[in-house]
Amino acid sequence: MLHAVIPAGGSGTRLWPLSRAGNPKFLHPLTGTAQTLLQATVSRLEHICPLSDIMVVTGVAHAAAVARQLPDLPERNIVVEPSPRDSCAAIGLAAALIARQDPQAIMGSFPGDHLVRDTSRLVEVLEQAAAGAKQGLLMTVGITPTHPETGYGYLECGEGLDWPVRRVDQFKEKPSHAVATQYLESGRYLWNAGMFVWRVDVFLAELQRQQPSLHDGLMRIVAAWDTDRDTVMGEIWPTLTKISIDYAVMEGAAAAGLVATVPGDFGWTDVGDFHAVAEALPADEFGNVLVGDDKSDVVLHDVTGSIIVPQSGRLVAALGVSEIIVVDTPDAVLVCRRDRAQDVKHLVDELKNRGDHRV
């Protein structure tokens, strides 16, 4: 049905101290099973394409971990960026590599660190998206919002195309609570899940139109891919514009009427913070969620609504607390009120300012 690309980057600041620059979110088992988020993403995608058509684009620091977490993924499908150049370069490189083999191939790009509960519903939505892509649209997957979430970007939808496809008029940044409430009430907004489906020729034409130098650089890299990849990557990659795919291509394409979306509801979460992690996992009778399978090392007395993340092999004991997050790692422990989970990024900012190496 399509070629699947997983840009596996980012560190997941709000999941500190579990997630670090050196040990990012997609490498962690936050799925309620022993699978990491990356492994679970690949497992889902295997419902729509063979493993040979799944490509992971990741950084030098994580290439080895990705290779080991996905032992059956062909080596040529693990593309390593020499340095982080944001999502447009990563996704653009994947598109150009796929286009070498099949210029009109349909490609989907899927974050490697999100959770989806209902894979069969996801497959249906992607089939609908692929149909739109075949017609020359840059397709996104929009999540039907269930509450006025301020942690996600939104897609502003216009008139309907062939059901259930809808035109996307604008990409909207994370809103305030008041604005998010308006979005929800209007019925015209979907959450932007960061999933894209398009024909690679259509995407590359838009990339060339809006980001000609980035497009040119990627073409030169791909031309040398089988002959002199290391040298040419080493020269050109660091010069590529560092820009997200939304800013670089999608917003301009939406303004040109080229972007559409399929609304979906398949139990999606971006697992952005520990509260979101826990919402996606089963809780015990007291509303407590244990993340990871090392449960013998946790003892809870009169604890309710809390999230315990034991990841150090040490004993984690809690007594008389409610709505608390405890994350225990080998070199740092976090204790946080559950409704402040989003603010963990501020803690990490402070640690970065201090020059602390544990971020």
CB of 190 to its own copies, least distance (A): 31
Which of these, 346, 315, 321, lies nearest to 335 by C-alpha position? 321
CB of 153 to its own copies, least distance (A): 25
Amino acid identity, position 161 = L
β-partners of residue 304 are 322
Structure tokens that stand for 204 in this block: 């590359």
Q: Which is nearer to its own copies, 228 or 356 (CB)?
A: 356
β-partners of residue 135 are none
CB of 275 to its own copies, least distance (A): 12
Amino acid identity, position 261 = T
Q: Which is nearer to its own copies, 227 or 296 (CB)?
A: 296
Q: Which is nearer to its own copies, 34 or 319 (CB)?
A: 319
CB of 298 to its own copies, least distance (A): 10
Q: Which is nearer to its own copies, 185 or 350 (CB)?
A: 350
Which of these, 122, 140, 131, lies nearest to 195 by C-alpha position? 140
Query: Contact, 107 vs 203, CB < 8 A?
Result: yes
Q: Which is nearer to its own copies, 281 or 332 (CB)?
A: 332
Q: Which residues bind its own copies (CB under 8 A)?
A: 17, 299, 301-302, 314-321, 324, 326, 328, 330-337, 339-340, 343-344, 346-347, 350-351, 354, 356, 358
Amino acid identity, position 148 = P
Q: Which is nearer to its own copies, 100 or 346 (CB)?
A: 346
Amino acid identity, position 289 = V
Between CA 281 and CA 291, with CA 286 as vertex, the angle to 5 degrees is: 30
Q: What are phi and psi of 243, to 5 degrees?
A: -155, 150
Q: Which is nearer to its own copies, 50 or 320 (CB)?
A: 320
CB of 305 to its own copies, least distance (A): 13
- Beta-strand pair 106-109/189-199: antiparallel
CB of 320 to its own copies, least distance (A): 4
Cα(257)–Cα(170) distance, rounded to whole angstroms? 10
CB of 272 to its own copies, least distance (A): 16
Sequence-distant (6+) residues with CB within 8 A of 20 are 11, 358, 359
